[in-house]
Structure 1
């Protein structure tokens, strides 16, 4: 599944193409707050872990494993709600939660950059660590149905486009360009139902 195949003027693999399609389905379902998006998230994350391993993007590979775990938890929370609610509503972060989120992201970023520089052969430890930490934050906020998740994803997706072009993952770069548009749509859609 990792053999190169030509597609739309560039080279990809069947594994990357399948990961791409499942990821688009994931985000489309998430925008509509359909819990089945979590299943597609699990499947696309598992496949993308293999894609990123082959590209020596170890932070992104590890991120996919975390995405699988957070997706299982997010699916549960979306279905069960909290505090006796039937479903988890879309809400905003409080000011103190925003500060905590940024501080957590910076600490995760520093730890990931150190780990990637020390224990892997990646050639992009700063970009990989920065974007991996931001993606962890975005996924956590998504699982809590915090509207700010879409703002994080817009920033992350724009930066990932450049990284994936550099790493010769053109189809994945295209996917993240599509993700930018979908994240803007998600922000608008969730903004209409936000309770706080």
Structure 2
């Protein structure tokens, strides 16, 4: 089974693209589309894609990103629950909203502290060749996932930054199809921001 997953489907710019990467990319695109439209089925699709990328990233020595997929899979269960049953502090159903100043401060502080922590962990316990960029992506993704789960519109800003840095990292690793996916993700982050902002403006 493993041989089939990592068998080359085709070659992009001299680097083989596996069937596992092809499947993970397709599922991820559908997942983000669901997130933009606030369709809760995006969460189980995200969990499935995360498990696929766990195998792919570990195979390519991207240990921070690989470990992050475990978090994504677990966070997807939480996010699914939040979108189906979550409530705001006032007891109202969970809906798209904006961070307040305190939320911004906490978000930026969390990302700033998690980044070096992730990087030092990768340098100490793995043979990662890109600990700082991998750590930045890992920290930002943790933050972005929490913001998305609680339906804060700023999740699209966090994911936009994460995806842009990921493009450079995947180019370095030769994961060209996934690089293309993350370029698409950057565009989808813009679309998601505009879509959610329109709903906020309409009072949805």
TM-score, normalised relative to structure 2: 0.92
Q: 1:4 aligns with which of 2, 8, 12?
A: 8
Give the aligned partner of residue 16 of structure 1.
21
Q: 1:29 aligned to 2:13?
A: no
Answering whether residue 82 of structure 2 is matched by residue 77 of structure 1, we say yes
Match of 1:181 in 2: 187
1:5 deviation in Å? 2.6
Q: Map 1:96-175 onto structure 2 (within 5 A).
A: 96-175=102-181
Q: Distance in 2 between matches of 1:179 and 1:108?
A: 23
- Number of the residue aligned with 1:53: 58
Matched length: 195
Give the whole-Å Cα distance in 1 for the aligned partners of 2:129 and 2:156: 28
Matched, 1:38 2:38: no
SS at match of 1:176: helix
| CA drift at 1:158 | 1.1
1:52 & 1:92 partners in 2: Cα distance? 33
Question: SS of 2:87's equivalent?
Answer: coil
Gaps of 5+ in 1: none
Give distance in 2, aligned partners of 1:153 and 1:43: 19
Shift of 1:106: 1.1
Distance 1:130 1:139, change over 3 A: same
Q: Secondary structure at the match of 2:151?
A: coil
Q: CA–CA distance in 2 between the matches of 1:185 and 1:18?
A: 23
CA contact (8 A) 2:96 2:153 kept: yes
Structure 2 unaligned blocks of 5 or more: none
How far apart, CA to CA, are the structure 1 residues paired with 2:61 and 2:11?
22
Aligned-residue offset at 1:7: 4.8
Answer yes or no: is the 8 Å Cα contact 2:55–2:66 preserved in 1.
yes
Q: TM-score, normalised by structure 1?
A: 0.95
* Residue number in structure 1 paired with 2:73: 68
